[in-house]
């Protein structure tokens, strides 16, 4: 740490990083100063140190697929290039047989341990569609974890069924849902949501549905999609809303910061955002995530999907401990053209070995399966 110590003495965020090294979490105003600072590499030295202290030189990943079961959506988010309106010629919804066949093939080819199930807000799908799918997966593929449905999809099903979100969560859990992705959060500030996704659930609703899921024993990820119309204060608010809920429920297993990819979206068409934020901003977000969530949300993911393997290798040294999933079959980011590559488990293993780390394949709940 001698190099770090020397650089720390000169830095305007020295006090915050020293507190982090002593186990003291940055508060909201500290977080604001971190976001305003250009000392990204120094933040990374400290956040990387904290990560290695906890995990050693080791990174995990999960063999998984993303099942984007429908692209039909009535929510029209301006950042989304994936959805189609009901009745569109390009609209699709997977049948139960198609879901089974995709999972069977990926299980045989890739030995997947998780299926990440996400789709549009399709008003034609009743709860039985999801219950039947989850039951089938758990019965036929018991080794595969069902990680599915964002809070806003849960809200949509509740509206279709004229039921409460808690009742929907409870039924889906009984059918086999085991954990939830953090999608739909974007930035948990309504003035931002009013611009980028005005028809989507509010920030309070996102927090409430996550709270309900955690209270029912459904753990989840938390995410943040940054790099559009938000400002640093909005990011601070996002972080500390997650801190507050995690202090109450302890239900978040991981945090994943995503950068917004504007290609083919309405936001690019309307000139709101032209280009993505790029690699340095990703490293800054990863580093700040570790500093803010250290000891609270156990895992930080590398966000390789939009930034590529090289950036993911760096992210693992800036505070991420989990590479993420192989994400076979992902379609949402692919619609923006920003998907960096197709990954197999071997490519992830090689990428992690290249930085001198050992690799842990994990299951849906971050339990180790094998180490190499």
What residue ranges bind ligand SF4 (CB under 6 A)?
A: 73, 75-77, 80, 82-83, 120-121, 152, 197
CB of 83 to ligand SF4, least distance (A): 4
The minimum distance between CB 267 and ligand SF4, in angstroms, equals 12
The answer to whether the beta carbons of residues 230 and 187 sit under 8 Å apart is yes
Of 150 and 307, the one with the shorter C-beta distance to ligand SF4 is 150
∠ Cα 224 301 66 (to 5°):
80
Task: Compute the least distance from the CB of residue 228 to ligand SF4, in Å.
Answer: 13
Total number of residues shown for the chain = 372
For residue 89, how many other CB atoms are within 10 A of its CB? Answer: 5
Q: How far apart are CA 131 and CA 190, in angstroms?
A: 31
| Residue closer to ligand SF4 (CB basis): 143 or 194 | 194
Closest CA to 354 of 305, 320, 314: 314
Q: Which C-beta is closer to ligand SF4: that of 82 or that of 252?
A: 82
The angle at the Cα of 257, spanning 256 to 259, to the nearest 5 degrees, equals 140
Spatial separation of the C-alpha atoms in residues 173 and 69, rounded to whole Å: 18
In the complex with ligand SF4, the residue whose CB is nearer, 97 or 270, is 270
Task: Enter the tokens of residue 87.
Answer: 């009745």
Q: How far is the CB of 121 from ligand SF4 (least distance, A)?
A: 5
Nearest CB to ligand SF4, comparing residues 153 and 322: 153
Smallest distance from ligand SF4 to CB 156, Å: 8
In the complex, least distance from residue 307 CB atom to ligand SF4, rounded to whole angstroms: 19
Report the nearest approach of ligand SF4 to the CB of residue 334 (Å): 13
Between 152 and 268, CB nearer to ligand SF4: 152
Residue with Cβ nearer ligand SF4 (75 or 306): 75
Q: Which is nearer to ligand SF4, 42 or 125 (CB)?
A: 125
Gap between the Cα atoms of 173 and 161, Å rounded = 16
CB of 127 to ligand SF4, least distance (A): 18
């Amino acid at each position: 740490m001698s190099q770090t110590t020397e650089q720390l003495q000169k830095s305007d965020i020295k006090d915050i990083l020293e507190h982090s090294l002593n186990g003291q979490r940055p508060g909201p105003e500290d977080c604001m100063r971190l976001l305003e600072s250009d000392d990204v590499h120094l933040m990374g030295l400290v956040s990387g140190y904290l990560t290695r202290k906890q995990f050693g030189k080791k990174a995990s990943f999960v063999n998984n697929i993303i099942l984007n079961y429908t692209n039909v959506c009535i929510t029209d988010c301006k950042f989304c290039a994936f959805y189609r309106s009901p009745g569109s010629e390009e609209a699709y919804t997977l049948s139960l047989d198609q879901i089974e066949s995709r999972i069977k093939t990926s299980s045989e080819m890739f030995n997947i341990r998780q299926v990440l199930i996400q789709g549009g807000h399709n008003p034609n799908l009743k709860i039985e569609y999801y219950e039947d799918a989850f039951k089938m997966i758990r019965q036929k593929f018991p080794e595969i974890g069902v990680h599915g449905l964002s809070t806003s999809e849960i809200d949509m099903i509740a509206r279709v069924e004229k039921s409460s979100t808690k009742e929907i969560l409870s039924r889906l859990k009984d059918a086999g849902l085991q954990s939830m992705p953090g999608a739909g959060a974007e930035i948990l500030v309504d003035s931002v949501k009013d611009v980028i996704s005005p028809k989507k659930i509010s920030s309070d609703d996102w927090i409430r549905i996550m709270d309900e899921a955690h209270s029912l024993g459904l753990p989840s990820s938390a995410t943040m999609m940054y790099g559009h119309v938000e400002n640093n204060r909005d990011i601070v608010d996002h972080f500390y809303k997650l801190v507050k809920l995690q202090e109450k429920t302890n239900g978040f297993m991981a945090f994943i910061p995503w950068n917004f990819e504007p290609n083919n979206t309405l936001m690019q068409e309307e000139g709101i955002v032209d280009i993505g934020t790029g690699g340095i901003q990703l490293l800054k977000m990863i580093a700040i995530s570790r500093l803010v969530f250290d000891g609270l949300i156990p895992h930080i993911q590398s966000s390789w999907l939009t930034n590529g393997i090289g950036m993911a290798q760096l992210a693992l040294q800036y505070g991420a401990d989990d590479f993420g999933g192989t994400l076979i079959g992902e379609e949402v980011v692919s619609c923006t053209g920003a998907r960096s590559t197709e990954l197999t488990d071997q490519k992830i293993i090689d990428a992690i070995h290249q930085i001198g780390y050992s690799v842990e394949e994990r299951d849906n709940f971050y339990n180790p399966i094998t180490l190499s």
